[in-house]
Amino acid sequence: MTKDHKSENAPRNWPVTLVLGGTFLAAITIVPWYGMVHGFSGWAWVFFAILLVASGIGIGSGYHRLWSHRAYEAHWIMRLYLAIVGGMALQNSILVWCIRHRFHHRDVDDNDKDPYSIGRGFWFAHVGWMIRDYKSGELDWSIVPDLERDPIVAWQHKYYWPLVLATNIALPLLLGWMVGDVWGVFLLAGILRLVISHHVTFFINSLCHMWGSRPYTDENTARDNWLLAIVTYGEGYHNFHHLFQSDYRNGIRWWQYDINKWFIATCSWLGLAKNLKRTPDFKIQRARLAMVFKRAQAKIESSQVNPRWRQLLETEYAQFRETVNQWQQLQMERMQQGRQKLANAIDQSALTARYRELERDLRLQRKRVMMLTAQFIG
């Protein structure tokens, strides 16, 4: 039985409260005041943009997709870069961040176990879970044994606070001194950049579990939202991510805005990343079509529908099951060929053609079912 969390009196985490509150207050008062009185140089805006994107990639491509989900493998140079710019985002070390994120995926929407469950409200999921030491946020190191073996992750965890001070204070001051605008660069590339970087990530935990569509699964609260994807460097395609979390992409279409996807792909082309994991298209189409059937069934149960439409839907669903069975049979054939080591180019080509045919069948069927639903129910 879930307890009443509104009465949970967790102790205040004062360091986090002061950092989040102090930087936010400075961003909405000192930064605009300085801009109106003194103005900001062009260099200040350039460094603001560069460090903002760098810290966002550090969290998205590094903390999230590389270390939390092992969606790809990275050269030590890339891992070191991501550890440094991820630390600049001031969201804790890789180890601590990944512990809580892995529990979030394992226990998503469980108010007792999910560290930032949206079930406890927008404020809690956005920032409230950090400013008090709730039991759901306790660290369990047993979930990150793979990360503890990574020397760069261990180095970043050990020297996290010197890294934070170097990237958030020393670096902006140095850049400002180099271009003759010390305070302008510090306020934009240091303070404002940090606050925006914080809340961009926090939006993923809060708004991305409240606002948007669920085309792949409704088993959790995660949503796809193209607008949030723009401000979160591609993390806004969150419904897809929660179902296929090991995929290095969140925006799976070439045109979907996902800076982290493009960054990882570019690094792969440069030889800095490898073994990029991609969810088979058939699994994606199967999930989307299953949701279409689920919503159609809900409409049948909630209203009077044309009996002919019900019959057509049952026929389509039977065909869907048959297509899935054929795909599973192909999977068994591929595994058998691999074990026997008898697969040749012709066999592989035939299997690939059959896979693509089944993927096409699911795409076409999803369109048919959606058209039928619109025609008979509206």
Q: What is the pLDDT of residues 157-193, one digit of tens each?
A: 999 999 999 999 999 999 999 999 999 999 999 999 9
Q: Are 87 and 167 in contact (CB under 8 A)?
A: yes
273's enclosing H/E stretch is strand 273-274
Is it the case that residue 347 has pLDDT exceeding 90? no
Single pTM value for the model = 0.87
pLDDT at 365: 64
Q: Hey, what are 133's tokens?
A: 């030491």
Using a CB cutoff of 8 Å and minimum separation of 24, what contacts does 260-263 make?
260/57, 260/60, 260/61, 260/64, 260/65, 260/233, 260/234, 260/235, 261/234, 263/57, 263/61
Give the pLDDT of residue 1: 38
Residue 65 CB coordination number (10 Å): 30
Q: pLDDT digits over 245-285, tens only?
A: 999 999 999 899 999 999 999 999 999 999 999 998 888 88
The more confidently predicted of residues 333 and 11 is: 11
Q: Are 312 and 293 in contact (CB under 8 A)?
A: no
**Separation CA 186–CA 174 (nearest Å):** 9
pLDDT tens, 45-86?
Answer: 999 999 999 999 999 999 999 999 999 999 999 999 999 999
